[in-house]
A and B are shown apart, each in its own frame.
Chain A
Amino acid sequence: MKQVIKGNFAVAQGVRLCRVGVISAYPITPQTTIVEELSEICARGELDAKFIKVESEHSAMAAMVGSSTAGVRSFTATSSQGLLLMHEVLHWAAGARLPIVLSNVNRAVGPGWNIWADQTDSVSQRDTGWVQIYCESNQEVLDSVIMSYKLAEKILLPVMLTYDAFFLSHTSEIVDIPDIEDVDEFLPPYRPEFRLDVDNPRTFGGMIGPDCYYEERYVMHKDSLKVLEHYSDVCSEFHDKFGREYDIAEEYRTDDAELIIVTAGTITSVTRIVVDKLREQGKSVGMMKLRMFRPVPVERWLKVLGTVPKVVVVDRNISAGLGGVFANEVQAVLYNSETRPVIYPVVVGLGGRDVTPDDVEGIINYALENDKPKDVPLFWGLKQ
């Protein structure tokens, strides 16, 4: 059924449809309305979940570790400082191979205190072992909750799905909410092989020494890479069932492109408009949407970007002392491509600064007009 809902409500609907068994979260703007809506959904009896109130995000993620280890489908949501407070337990959840799903509403990290869109919170969790997915619409947000559980429970790794503060979290748009019967068919109940069970005691997270920790991490890495192949199965199964498709790295009008711009989050939507406009002007430009960021779809990025003369990477995040994180990772992947593209790293829209079609057009034209990047990275729209 189609409804006009906000991104945060889309997440809550996804959680309901997945029949999540345990929810624990601590409110933080702009995530708060996810928690509010979920507590109402539970109170109305539309979801038979245990809602655990906690005093911090660290405890919320710790509760997830407990409930997921006990074999229950588990969900939490957060933003910014809240995600950072979870950091220690994020590593634990991934290392313990727990298929938790977390939705992170991308918000800038303080100080200065800022509640607006910025991806620095989630990109700074890239080494925790979590799968990371970036969304550009409320429909994609809802569908990604369902796909994330399917993926997480297949490969036994947690999934963080992220989307921009306010540009999606507080924006109402049309979302087709699937029937729960169809979701039941797509996503069977979670039945882990090993779980906390008083009748069948086991040890979880025990000490392992230098003789096997290394191999354990190797296995985790290899399994993380398997997410890439499992994702394409999940994606095609989702498409067959619900008619919508979310490519791991969608190509938009990349045929014969001389320049491809790489974007993540809602800047992607705006870039579609600009690519259409520039194509009409006869400029050979296309876009690659960065949807999955961990594991990195290396082969796919190489295939899409490896032979293009120019690649622009747009980052709404910053690693101080280096620049945008996506640009850095794209550069690393493309270093071994046969015809190494010229890469134009651009940092834009930090702390929720609006990014308009004029901005994106200006960025693309800057790359078209210059044989080499003038600044690495280019800070677009910086006030002097």
Chain B
Amino acid sequence: MEEIRFHGRGGQGAVIGSEVLAHAFFIENKYVQAFPAFGVERRGAPVTAFCRIDEKQINLRNQIYEPDHVVVLDPTLLETIGVTQGLKKNGAVVINSKREPAYYRDLLGDDYRLYVVDAASVAVEHRLGSPSNPIVNTAIVGAFSKATGLVKIESVEQAIEEYVPIKKENNKKAAHAAYERMVEG
């Protein structure tokens, strides 16, 4: 089983992001589960969402406390909440940020694999959200595909086609662009 935890802020699309990723794995015939940390969501407040994938029926129902990988939609969260809490050694941390990966290597230490993509710029280029409030979820799921190699980018694009209600083409292109632009740190 792989367990993935999403950290974002209300309005960035972390919950939908976790659902798109689950859908992409489903397209590859995996068992999947996606759910939000059950809170009263407010725009701008920290949001957590979860995704589980397995080769067999998933019976775990509780929240994910020791994820294999972490996806961070808002870089400011890295300095305010413990996004790597419980993260397994050598797990991937996929961050949306304009900064260089070296900055996060210093911040997070050497225990994890580190990937950075400027998903906010990708989103704005593809007219997803506004410059002050870009919707980065589909872009960062594209970057997750590249970072972990667990799911094909084609499956992510198909999941967007089938699952995302609006701006399907823009979201697919954003996922692909983030897949191409992601850098390893």
Contact = CB atoms under 8 A, between A and B. Distances in A.
Interface stretch (B29-37, B98-106, B110-118, B148-156): B29-37
A284 interface: no
Contacts of A116: 38
Nearest to A113: B40
Contacts of B59: 269-270, 272-273
Given A4-B19, A167-B61, A174 B32 contact: yes
B58 A173 contact: yes
Interface string A345-379: 00000001011110000000000000000000000
A172 interface: yes
A173 B32 contact: yes
Given A4-B22, A4-B26, A4-B32, A170 B60 contact: no
A330 B58 CA distance: 29
Given A4-B22, A115-B40, A269 B60 contact: yes
B23 interface: yes
A348 to B, nearest CB: 12
B62 interface: yes
A173 B33 contact: yes
Interface string B18-53: 010011001000011111101010000000000000
A165 interface: yes
B128 to A, nearest CB: 21
B60 A357 contact: yes
A247 B34 CA distance: 27
Interface string A232-274: 0000000000000000000000000000000000110110110
B33 to A, nearest CB: 5
Given A4-B26, A172-B22, A356-B62, A165 B34 contact: no
Contacts of A171: 33-35, 61
A171 B65 CA distance: 17
A53 to B, nearest CB: 24
A54 B32 CA distance: 37
B35 A172 contact: yes
B158 interface: no
Interface residues on A, range: 20 to 34
Interface centre among A170, A173, A270 (most CB of B within 10 A): A173
Nearest to A272: B59
A243 to B, nearest CB: 15
Contacts of A167: 35, 61
B48 to A, nearest CB: 13
A273 B57 CA distance: 11
B170 interface: no
A4 B36 contact: no
Interface string A136-172: 0000000000000000000000000000011100111
A354 B23 CA distance: 25
Nearest to A172: B34
A270 B63 contact: no
A172 B33 contact: yes
A116 B19 CA distance: 21
Given A171-B34, A172-B19, A355 B62 contact: yes
Contacts of A269: 59-61
A79 to B, nearest CB: 13
A28 to B, nearest CB: 14
A266 B32 contact: no
B34 A270 contact: no
A172 B32 contact: yes
B22 A170 contact: no
A355 B163 CA distance: 30
A278 to B, nearest CB: 14
Interface centre among A116, A172, A352 (most CB of B within 10 A): A172
Interface in B48-79: 58-63, 65
B26 A273 contact: no
A172 B23 CA distance: 9
A269 B23 CA distance: 22
Interface string A1-29: 01010000000000000000000000000
B45 to A, nearest CB: 16
B84 to A, nearest CB: 20
Contacts of A352: 38
Interface of B: 19, 22-23, 26, 31-36, 38, 40, 58-63, 65, 163
Interface of A: 2, 4, 115-116, 165-167, 170-174, 266-267, 269-270, 272-273, 352, 354-357
30 contacts: A4-B26, A4-B32, A4-B34, A4-B163, A116-B38, A165-B38, A166-B35, A166-B36, A166-B38, A167-B35, A170-B35, A170-B36, A172-B22, A172-B23, A172-B32, A172-B34, A172-B35, A173-B31, A173-B32, A173-B33, A173-B34, A174-B32, A267-B61, A269-B59, A269-B60, A270-B62, A272-B59, A273-B59, A352-B38, A355-B62
Given A172-B34, A266-B61, A270-B59, 20 more contacts: A4-B26, A4-B32, A4-B34, A167-B61, A170-B36, A170-B38, A171-B35, A171-B61, A172-B19, A172-B32, A172-B33, A173-B32, A173-B58, A174-B26, A269-B59, A272-B59, A273-B60, A352-B38, A356-B62, A357-B60
